[in-house]
A and B are shown apart, each in its own frame.
Chain A
Amino acid sequence: MKLSCTGLLGILVTVVAAILLIGGLSSCGSSVKGYVKDHYDRVGTRNGAELYRSKDRVDQVVKDITGRWKPADRITDPGGVFLRYRDTFVAVRPRTAGGTDIEVDDPDRAYAHWYPFIGGWFGTYSGRGEGFRGGGPGSGK
């Protein structure tokens, strides 16, 4: 049976499709929480949040995490970067002694803990007594 151009193209496209599907489906069941757990040193818990540590700079850690798991939203402050995912909140902060602290938390609890920094950007905000200042992802300006 001779292989025509159509057949060759069909095989090629199917192989490429299989590679893409395997690549995409291989991460089924994993999460940003698992990525942080696998790549950084766990140092304990604080207020229910998991604490991890890295020797890298904040920008490198943020690049690594967001490069693997794109956040739904993020807020940057001179004191840290806050990443919002569906069921997880990640706070990445510089350490005074060098390196980076990574805190993985539940979004609702994290909203209370980091309210002065993310209030109004990831939810409702009345901190300054000026009423509502925002929404969540998709809520617009």
Chain B
Amino acid sequence: MNRAAHPRPALAILLLLALAAVAMLPLPAGAQTTPTTAQPEVTAAQAGAGVLLSAEDRVELAQALAEATEESEICFGYLARLNDAGAVRQDAVSSLGPNQRVTTNDPRCPKGGVELQVDVEYTCGSCESDDRASWGVVSNVGGVSSSTIRQRLEALTGLGKGDLLGDKDDQALRNATAALPLAVSGATVEPAEPSNAAAAPNGDRVTGSPGSDWVRENGLMTGIGALLLLVGLGLLVAWWISTAGKRRIARLRGDEPHRPDSSSNDPASS
């Protein structure tokens, strides 16, 4: 019996088992067949501040978008251009990281990309023209048009041009960009899950007190209504005074026949 022949089947079995075990192990991120947006950790200092967003918010937004891209295989991001009285700056944040734009035909975005493009123009203090802002959506994702995404973004965020010029312009840009995954049909996103915590950590708490919901919703209409009511009643009183005055003058002049008092004893009426 040739002893050297025995180890061959055993070695072959061991090799097969080893290969099977390796195949069952999770692949390293870089070797995964599914496209991923796995990116090196970028600190706020490395990311830097954007034209509207702080460095911390840019990093946080990029992470949230990257998670949405892992679910949907669609890349999301924004490009913000700011013209500050002639000095032009721009910045971008996307699923691919801070300072990275959504690019077409990127293997990391197999189902395409959606980019929110924001233009803000601050005019100089002495200029007559007002500050301006505009925004649009560019998408190459199949099954949904850029205009549909824009309409859905408006519904989700209430974004108007004025929002990009106000005190909360950073929140408006962040909200609109973070809403992109929700605005794309077929983009499977992981729903936000609440925690069971009874209180926020470290004593954090909700602050500020929003005004009355009713006043916010109906205050303007009711205020205008009340104002118009005063004007309308004023006009009616003016008309009544004017008419009564004319009748009195006419009566004094004798133009208008005096109406007999019905309570008086007029022989003709009896």
Complex contacts, B228 vs chain A, CB 8 Å: 13-14, 16-17, 20
Q: Report if A13-B231 is in contact (Cβ < 8 Å); known contacts: A76-B176, A79-B190, A115-B201.
A: yes
Q: Is the CB of A21 within 8 A of B192?
A: no
Q: Is the CB of B156 within 8 A of A76?
A: yes
Most buried by A among B182, B197, B227, B228: B182
Q: Is the CB of B201 within 8 A of A76?
A: no
**Chain B 221-244: CB-based contact to A (< 8 A → 1; otherwise 0):** 110111111011111111110110
Partner of B207, one of A4, A93, A112, A139: A139
Complex contacts, A87 vs chain B, CB 8 Å: 213
Size of the B side of the interface (Cβ < 8 Å), in residues, is 76
**Chain B proximity of A69: nearest CB distance (Å):** 6
Q: Is the CB of B182 within 8 A of A123?
A: no
Give the distance in Å from the alpha carbon of A108 to the alpha carbon of B63 in the complex: 27
**Chain A proximity of B42: nearest CB distance (Å):** 14
Size of the A side of the interface (Cβ < 8 Å), in residues, is 90
Q: Is the CB of A47 within 8 A of B194?
A: yes
Q: Is the CB of A78 within 8 A of B189?
A: yes
Q: Is the CB of B157 within 8 A of A74?
A: yes
Q: Is the CB of B178 within 8 A of A136?
A: no
Any B CB within 8 A of the CB of A52:
no
**Chain B 196-232: CB-based contact to A (< 8 A → 1; otherwise 0):** 1111111111111111111011110110111111011
Give the distance in Å from the alpha carbon of A130 to the alpha carbon of B212 in the complex: 32
A1-31: which residues lie under 8 A (CB-CB) from chain B?
Answer: 1-4, 6-7, 9-21, 23-25, 27-28, 31
**Chain A proximity of B167: nearest CB distance (Å):** 5
Complex contacts, A108 vs chain B, CB 8 Å: 205-206
Give the distance in Å from the alpha carbon of A68 to the alpha carbon of B171 in the complex: 22
Give the distance in Å from the alpha carbon of A134 to the alpha carbon of B224 in the complex: 34
Complex contacts, A85 vs chain B, CB 8 Å: 210, 213
Q: Report if A10-B235 is in contact (Cβ < 8 Å); known contacts: A32-B213, A47-B196, A91-B194.
A: yes
Any A CB within 8 A of the CB of B68:
yes
Q: Is the CB of B208 within 8 A of A21?
A: no
Q: Is the CB of B179 within 8 A of A135?
A: no
Any A CB within 8 A of the CB of B56:
yes
Give the distance in Å from the alpha carbon of A80 to the alpha carbon of B178 in the complex: 9
| Interface pairs A-B: 10 shortest CB-CB | A136-B208, A20-B225, A72-B210, A10-B235, A14-B232, A79-B192, A24-B222, A13-B232, A17-B228, A10-B236
Chain A residues engaging chain B, CB cutoff 8 angstroms? 1-4, 6-7, 9-21, 23-25, 27-28, 31-32, 46-47, 49, 57-60, 62-63, 66, 68-70, 72-81, 84-88, 91, 93-96, 101, 103, 107-117, 119, 121-128, 130, 133, 135-141
